[in-house]
Amino acid sequence: MEEIILEINNLRKVYKDVVALDSLSFQVKKGQVFGLLGPNGSGKTTTLGILLGVLRQESGNFSWFNNGAKDENRKNIGALLETPNFYPYLNPFDNLVVVAKIKGMTDYDDRIDEVLKRVNLFERKKSKFKTFSLGMKQRLAIASAMLNDPEVLVLDEPTNGLDPEGIAEIRDLIKEIASTGKTIIIASHILDEIEKVCTHVAILRKGKLLQIGELSEVMTQERLLMLKSANLSELKNAVERISAVKFISIKEDELLVAISDDYDPANLNKELAGLGIYLSSIREHRKNLESMFLEIIKA
């Protein structure tokens, strides 16, 4: 039986008249790379804030390591919630010494060298933090979160603001850490990157859980088609009149739609022709997390 690392039951959080979380419940099991996905305002950061003791919920509860919400649990959790914040004139080694002392660690020199090697910053251990690129700063922040060898890493938008090279660096680092058996929880809206690292996903909208499961399960539910005709607006209107077809989005000069596996695309072509719409192109669309996300939040 898989060990449950985190269990959330009916979390609710309200800011004035805005419901940030609405009866949110899910589990994260040991060894999962769990993606918490949603557009801005969906409740991702609020959820992490509650789980890490920064915010307090109105109702509901959660438990880390089957040990409730006790402060002692956070000793086994490494977190990156905001933009990396270190002393600009200190080098990474000395910055991590400060972190180690705050965490009550002793004999930390070897451990600091170890995590700097893990995040590929050992060769820059004596460079001042202010000289680092944003990607390097983010890697140092992950090193800081890993310093006391926690069981779980919680990362809020770890690739936000990075250039493609920086995104690739953080993605590879997360995959390398996950390969050691660590449990990782990532909140993000950058769907392409989450698709490349996560094993499980939960999709939120306006504080509600819309879908949860293994990434492979979430992405294999309906067939996707790209449709094209002379008048895109008329095509969209016609598609929305066919009950077996679900409009997802407009992609340049084509329509992205979803159909059930038992619905023949030839029938779609026939039904559209009956509505006076003739397709110039109909083709299968490779399913990815972005298209699934759009389909789910627009359902």
pLDDT at 113: 96
- Indicate whether 227 and 212 sit together in one domain: no
186 shares a domain with 246: no
Over the stretch 257-288, which tens digit does the pLDDT of each residue have? 888 777 888 889 999 999 999 999 998 876 65
| pLDDT (mean) for 223-242 | 89
pLDDT at 220 over 60: no
pTM: 0.76
Closest to 27 measured CA to CA, from 11, 7, 12: 7
Same domain, 233 and 151: no
- Final residue in a domain of this structure, among 186, 218, 250: 218
Same domain for 170 and 289, yes or no, is no
Domain boundary among 200, 218, 236: 218
Q: What is the CATH number of the domain that holds 78?
A: 3.40.50.300
CA angle 292, 173, 191 (to 5 degrees): 15
pLDDT at position 222, please?
64
Q: The domain spanning residue 264 has which CATH number? A: 3.30.70.100
> Count of CB atoms within 10 A of residue 216's CB?
9
Q: Which residue has the tokens 């809020």?
A: 156
Neighbour-count burial of 269, counting CB atoms closer than 10 A to its CB (0-12 exposed, 13-18 middle, 19+ buried): middle
Q: How many domains would you assign to the chain?
A: 2
Domain final residue, candidates 218, 234, 264: 218
- Do 122 and 74 reside in the same domain of the chain? yes
Query: Does 211 lie in the same domain as 177?
Result: yes
- Domain range holding 292? 223-297
